[in-house]
Amino acid sequence: MNMKIAFVGKGGSGKTTLSSLFIRHLAHRGVPVTAVDADINQHLGPALGLSDEEAAAVPPLGGRLPLIKEYLRGDNPRILSAETMIKTTPPGAGSRLLRLDEDNPVFAACARDVDLGEGRSARLLATGAFTEDDLGVACYHSKTGAVELCLNHLVDGRDAYVVVDMTAGSDSFASGMFTRFDLTFLVVEPTRKGVSVYRQYREYARDFGVALRVIGNKVQGRDDEEFLREQVGDELLVTVGHSDWVRALERGVRRPFGELEAGNRAALSVLYREADAAYERRDWGRYTQQMVHFHLKNAASWGNERTGADLAAQVDPGFVLGEEPVAQAVG
């Protein structure tokens, strides 16, 4: 199985920190993991131990959109050219699908192996830096669009994880990116602002059956804990306190992963258990329907006009993404 996990939350809540810890946790358990930095501030590479120069040298997915589109389109007759392929264009018969355990031109162009130390590594992909201006429904060159395209074309790769560090911004709601995961971890600080981002996200999530779990971060003491419990209720999965291990890493001191605080290690085990259990609830039919839903929405609101084509015609009605994709002729 191949699990798609997102870490979202407001700026500064700890998305990058917690996704990097989760990535390390998986790597230390021998789980192949592909880390995707899709956050406005591109900090996942450094959080995984890359120097700033090494992180800056990771080729951005956003800069390789033509290559990505040309590859994924394959010989799908419904997609007439890479130019008419937008971030929501769904795969169909003839499309090329991505597998985590294979070599392909997309990974060859953009993925880099990151040495996590202690004999562990992860594969890293990055969207490239973007600003709030890059976000929004009308963004043809959206940086996160490359990630959405890849997620929509991703199939099995056994027992591997994709972990995406991303912003909880409006872009992910407009494009449908927020529906692309088996489980979404929403990182919330015990503040009113943190909780309000949670409420907004939950509204969208509910309408689309998105599985959401809240991680309280920077939780100090019982008052913080009670505040979150009261505001979030059952969706609060775990809380994480201040980590000296994380702080040391920020000072450039890399301690063995086993020295991460016991409480925080226990929290990571809970995340893994929860993520693994999400596989049972996966529904490829719904997953495919949702990508079509968001594609039609994007086509009507800006895509048709921008490309001068009828993008609704890109939808292959007989296609269902899955570990064994189904493509049947619809008469």
Ligand X SMILES: Nc1ncnc2c1ncn2[C@@H]1O[C@H](COP(=O)(O)OP(=O)(O)OP(=O)(O)O)[C@@H](O)[C@H]1O
Kindly state whether residue 39 participates in binding Mg ion, applying the rule CB under 5 A.
Answer: yes
Position among 1, 43, 54, 293 found at the interface with Mg ion (CB under 5 A): 43
What residues have CB less than 8 Å from 280, skipping those under 6 apart? none
Shortest spacing between CB 147 and ligand X, in angstroms: 15
Nearer to Mg ion, 72 or 122 (CB): 122
Residues that contact ligand X, how many (by CB under 6 A):
19
When the beta carbons of 160 and 166 are compared against ligand X, the nearer one is 166
Number of H helices, E strands in the chain: 13, 12
* Cα 233 from chain centre: 25
Say how far apart CA 266 and CA 257 lie, in whole Å. 13
Closest CB 22 distance from Mg ion, rounded Å: 13
Binding flags for ligand X, 33-72, as an x/- string (CB under 6 A) = ------x-x-x-----------------------------
Rounded to a whole number of angstroms, the minimum distance from the CB of residue 18 to ligand X is 7
For residue 13, state whether it binds ligand X (rule: CB under 6 A). Answer: yes
Q: Show the binding pattern over residues 15-34: x = contacts Mg ion (CB under 5 A), - = does not.
A: xx------------------
Beta strand 212-216 with 112-117 is unpaired
Q: How many CB atoms lie within 10 A of CB 37?
A: 30
**Measured distance CA(112)–CA(131) in Å, rounded:** 23
Binding partner of 118, given Mg ion, ligand X, none, CB within 5-8 angstroms per partner class: none
Count of residues touching Mg ion (by CB under 5 A): 4
How many Å apart are CA 295 and CA 257, to the nearest integer? 42
Residue 216 Cβ vs ligand X, minimum distance, rounded to whole Å: 10
User: Which of ligand X, Mg ion, none does 242 bind, CB closer than 5 to 8 A by kind?
Assistant: ligand X
The site partner of 14 among Mg ion, ligand X, none (C-beta below 5 to 8 Å per kind) is: ligand X
Which does residue 98 touch among Mg ion, ligand X, none (CB within 5 to 8 A, set by kind)?
Answer: none
Q: What does the alpha-carbon distance between residue 57 and residue 51 come to, in Å, rounded to a whole number?
A: 10
> Per-residue x/- marks for ligand X, 288-317, CB under 6 A?
------------------------------
CB of 55 to ligand X, least distance (A): 13
Q: Which one among 2, 4, 6, 16 touches ligand X, defined by CB under 6 A?
A: 16
Let me know if 54 is exposed, middle or buried by CB neighbors in 10 A (0-12, 13-18, 19+): middle
CB atoms within 10 A of CB 152: 26
Report whether 1 contacts 181 (CB < 8 A).
Answer: no
- Report whether 12 contacts 191 (CB < 8 A): no
By a kind-dependent CB cut-off of 5 to 8 A, residue 282 interacts, out of Mg ion, ligand X, none, with: none
Q: Residue 83 binds what, of ligand X, Mg ion, none (CB under 5 to 8 Å, by partner type)? A: none
Write the binding mask 216 to 255 for ligand X: x where contact by CB under 6 A, - elsewhere: -xx---------------------x-xx--xx--x-----
**Where does residue 21 rank: exposed (0-12), middle (13-18), buried (19+ CB within 10 A)?**
buried
Q: Where are the beta strands (DSSP E) in the chain?
A: 2-9, 33-38, 98-99, 112-117, 120-126, 154-155, 160-166, 183-188, 212-216, 236-239, 319-320, 326-327
Closest contact distance (angstroms) between CB of 39 and Mg ion is 4
Return d(Cα 20, Cα 44) in angstroms, integer.
7
Q: State the residues that interact with ligand X by CB under 6 A.
A: 9, 11-17, 39, 41, 43, 217-218, 240, 242-243, 246-247, 250
Residues near Mg ion, by CB under 5 A:
15-16, 39, 43
